Amino acid sequence: MSLRLPAPRAVLFDLDGTLADTAPDLAAAVNTMRTERGLPPAPFESLRPVASAGARGLIGVAFGIGPGDEGFDAMRTEFLANYAARIAVGTVLFEGVVELLQAIEAKGLRWGVVTNKPARFTDVLLPLIGLAHAACSISGDTTAHAKPHPEPLFEAARRLDLRPQDCWYVGDDLRDIQAGKAAGMPTLAAGWGYCGHSEPVDWAADVIVDSPAHIIDMLATT
């Protein structure tokens, strides 16, 4: 899918699965829970697609329970404690992300992060992976609503003193595209990310991008 988008004044990004490959540390947090219960680790290939869904997705795959089920809340607390203890052991930026952010800045544009990760993790992680210079950082608990509600994206635009339609939003999950569209932002589906159990072609994003370099090419023509 290819579409020429209006030139942005800022580019906003989801974090997990879009800017950063956090799946190794998220998977380790839930697999620690399994090994402590005498269970074999869940295969990484089964955990990676749901990494963007955080505790809900990972505990769902690893233990077959979800929010509302008996024991889930306690497991969620345990999972988050494990993750906090080893938040940036295997996490790295995806290939090409550094160059993309440099290209955005070279055009005189700003970039920011809009994630559903709680702020207590976002605020620790961003400096550890070289993203402390984001122009704004909106976490899942920054506003009263998380994605797919558009309010986190509206808040990012407010902090940048921009109209929502002047920002591109890039994400690797259906919720990202839903939030971006509801906010009136041009949306880019990050096909290199986790993408859950659905395909980006089904999300109705304005553009599907297969790499950070693809976005650099798009910016060069705006």
Residue 2 resides in a domain? no
Structure-token match 């994630």, residue found: 115
Q: Are residues 203 and 108 in the same domain?
A: yes
Q: Examine the pLDDT at 129 and tell me if it is beyond 80.
A: yes
Task: Report yes or no: 192 and 210 within 8 Å, Cβ to Cβ.
Answer: yes
Residues 166 and 186 in one domain: yes
- Long-range pairs of 120-128 with CB within 8 A, sequence gap ≥ 24: 120/84, 121/83, 121/84, 121/87, 122/15, 124/84, 124/87, 125/15, 125/20, 125/22, 125/87, 125/88, 125/91, 128/87, 128/88, 128/91
143 & 163 share domain: yes
- E strand or H helix that includes residue 10: strand 10-13
Q: Does 50 reside within a domain?
A: yes
Q: What is the CATH number of the domain that holds 201?
A: 3.40.50.1000
pLDDT of 2 > 60? The answer is no
Statement to judge: residues 151 and 214 lie in one domain? yes
Residue 122 has pLDDT above 60, yes or no: yes
Q: Are residues 72 and 147 in the same domain?
A: no
Encoding tokens for residue 184? 């009136």
Q: Which entry of 14, 16, 25, 176 is annotated as an active-site residue?
A: 14
Domain end (from 35, 59, 85) = 85
CA distance 63 to 67: 12
Q: Are residues 115 and 46 part of one domain?
A: no
Q: Are 136 and 71 found together in one domain?
A: no
Confidence tier at 1 by pLDDT (50, 70, 90): very low
Q: Is residue 181, in this structure, part of any structural domain at all?
A: yes
Residue range 123-135: mean pLDDT, rounded: 98
pLDDT at 68: 95
Shared domain check, 184 and 102: yes
Q: What is the domain count for the chain?
A: 2
14 assigned to active site:
yes
Domain that holds residue 154: 10-21+91-220
Same domain, 107 and 184: yes
* pLDDT tens column, 41-69: 999 999 999 999 999 999 999 999 999 99
140 pLDDT more than 90:
yes
Q: Which of 52, 85, 118 is the last residue of a domain?
A: 85
Query: Could you tell me if 53 and 106 lie in one domain?
Result: no
Rounded CA separation 120/49 (Å) = 23
Mean pLDDT of the region 88-102: 98
Domain stops at, among 85, 102, 122: 85
For residues 96 and 80, state if they share a domain: no
